[in-house]
Amino acid sequence: MERRDFFKLSAITATWILTGCGGSGGGGVNTSDINTGAERLTKLIIPPLLIATDIGGVKHYDLEIKKARHSFFSKYNTATYAINGTYLGPTLKLTNGDNVSINFTNNLSEDTTMHGHGMHVPSTMDGASHQNIAVGATWSAQYTVNQRACTNWYHPHYMGKTAEHVYKGLAGLIIIEDAEILALDLPKTYGVDDIPLVVQDRFFDANGQIDYSPTRREIMMGYNGDVSIVNGVVNPYVDVEAKEVRFRILNGSNSSMYNFSFSDGRSFKQIGTDNSLLEAPVSMTTLRLSPAERAEIVVDFSTSTGTSITMSNGSKNIMKINVKTLTSATTTTPTTLTTLNRFALADAVRTRTFSLSANGPGDLRINGVSMNMMVINERVPVNDVEVWEVTNQMNMNHNFHIHATHFTVLERNGSLANVLENEKGYKDTVFLGPNDSVKLLVKMVDYTNNTVPYMYHCHFLEHEDAGMMGQFTVE
């Protein structure tokens, strides 16, 4: 039996079932109280767009990291960490070329950090483990936006506490736009036909509180909550018009894999991956995302007026979509989206190898060593094209995330044929199944610093906190 009390949301009935016995949840709660909240469909929350304050040509975004309480269930207020609100944070919409100052004030009772995941910025502005935000302090990420359109996100990266801080609610989206993407005939009205989806899962205890208490086994195998949440909403629905709708999907879970599909089996088009548009839309019926990966998809609901469709992860419901009468302008996704400037394999000057392994339960490593804040594991010359070969030596899922840059996937398990079509844009996180290997083409550009490092790591957050992370400088 599990040592915690928790509740499982049935994918079929959307009702709560008490499982397990004893534990941290403090049992004895009348579960019908939680049933009342979980049975109802709740309108999807759209994270608000944070409006910048322009000071001398610099756009300032002010964000408060704080303790809060959030209503996942009708009769329980759940203690959370949040950014400006009650769970998660607002969306930042930036334009390539903007001068920005993203100002994080830490009003928690513990230190944290805030990393711009997918952002191409100087290492001093990366917000990783070396950019600590003390209690009561404000830290600012100040830079000029220097990358093409994509959907990124921000989240804590505090050494040994990343998983817990994200689990409690610290995360938000960063949307980058540029002239190219704005000129394309794509859905682009935020929250209406351009809808962000931060998909997560959580355990809740018998008092409706977030339960972050992974066992050693769960640290190794994945802390996979049994309650699905989208934008902080349990059992959500969203109303859309009968036309093309764009969903920006982030797998914001600590360690869960998702295979998204629709209840009627419909196909959809993926138009973007972690760090770029795809060169052409990729038609698909199932989308796989590992933790921290993003995808932009366009779903055509033009012939579905009056129907309700469920977005699912296998047998588990994620969100209900109600298709309403068309009242606004339509779009037609282009057959060509962009041209990516790709580096040539022939230009690679060296290969670096990274092996993902364990030295026992809760002791995870890269190249046989555990993360050490005082050790620079790799020194990477700026402007050199390199091959990074990553091998998962374990019989479990991992992925691999590189700060500072984006990369292309050259091979999976020895062959380009194993690289999925929707992996062929620019990425910053790549999935590795049990015993998989990938070859990545990497080039560090623009920013150098021989003392302040960036990170590379598994983005299964319990794995990262357990040591599966390293540091590199760009020199």
The neighbour count for residue 142, using CB atoms within 10 Å, is 15
Q: Which two tokens stand for residue 41?
A: 């469909």
Q: What CA–CA distance (Å, rounded) separates 59 from 78?
A: 33
At 230 the pLDDT is 98
Burial class (CB in 10 A: 0-12, 13-18, 19+), 144: exposed
Say how many residues make up the chain.
475
Q: Residues 6 or more apart from 291 whose CB is under 8 A from it? A: 251, 252, 253, 254, 255, 256, 257, 399, 429, 459, 460, 461
**310 beta partners:** 320
Q: Are 49 and 93 in contact (CB under 8 A)?
A: yes
Residue 309: which of 299, 298, 320, 325 has the closest Cα?
320
Q: Report long-range pairs for 13-19 (Cβ below 8 Å, ≥24 apart).
A: 14/38, 14/39, 14/41, 14/235, 14/317, 15/39, 18/206
Q: What CA–CA distance (Å, rounded) separates 197 from 359?
A: 36
> Domain 53-183, what fold?
Immunoglobulin-like (2.60.40)
Q: Are 85 and 45 in contact (CB under 8 A)?
A: no
**58-73 and 99-106: which strand pairing?**
parallel
Q: Residues 6 or more apart from 415 whose CB is under 8 A from it? A: none
Q: What CA–CA distance (Å, rounded) separates 1 from 22?
A: 9
Q: Please say whether the structural domain 345-474 has been given the CATH code 3.20.20.70.
A: no
Q: How far apart are the first and last CA of the chain?
A: 52
At 31 the pLDDT is 36
3-state secondary structure 319-376: EEEEEECCCCCCCCCCCCCCCCCCCCHHHEEEEEEEEEEECCCCCEEECCECCCCCCC
Residue ranges of the domains in the chain?
6-43, 53-183, 345-474
**56 beta partners:** none
Residue 334: C-alpha distances to residues 178, 338, 351 (Å):
17, 10, 37
Q: What CA–CA distance (Å, rounded) separates 396 from 402?
A: 20
Burial class (CB in 10 A: 0-12, 13-18, 19+), 440: buried
Q: Which two tokens stand for residue 156?
A: 């804590």
At 8 the pLDDT is 36
At 80 the pLDDT is 98
Burial class (CB in 10 A: 0-12, 13-18, 19+), 415: exposed
Q: Do domains 53-183 and 345-474 have the same CATH topology?
A: yes
Q: Which residue has the tokens 């959500």?
A: 236
Residue 84: C-alpha distances to residues 43, 46, 117, 120, 121 (Å):
20, 14, 19, 24, 24
- Would you list the DSSP string of 93-115? EEETT-EEEEEEEE-SSS-B--E
Query: What's the pTM?
Result: 0.93
What does each of the 475 residues of the chain score in pLDDT, given as a tens digit?
Answer: 343 433 333 332 333 322 222 223 333 233 344 444 444 789 999 999 999 999 999 999 999 999 999 999 988 999 999 999 999 999 999 999 999 999 999 999 999 999 999 999 999 999 999 999 999 999 999 999 999 999 999 999 999 999 999 999 999 999 999 999 999 999 999 999 999 999 999 999 999 999 999 999 999 999 999 999 999 999 999 999 999 999 999 999 999 999 999 999 999 999 999 999 999 999 999 999 999 999 999 999 999 999 999 999 999 999 999 999 999 999 999 999 999 999 999 999 999 999 999 998 889 999 999 999 999 999 999 999 999 999 999 999 999 999 999 999 999 999 999 999 999 999 999 999 999 999 999 999 999 999 999 999 999 999 999 999 999 999 9
Residue 450: C-alpha distances to residues 87, 116, 264, 453 (Å):
37, 20, 53, 7
**234 beta partners:** 229
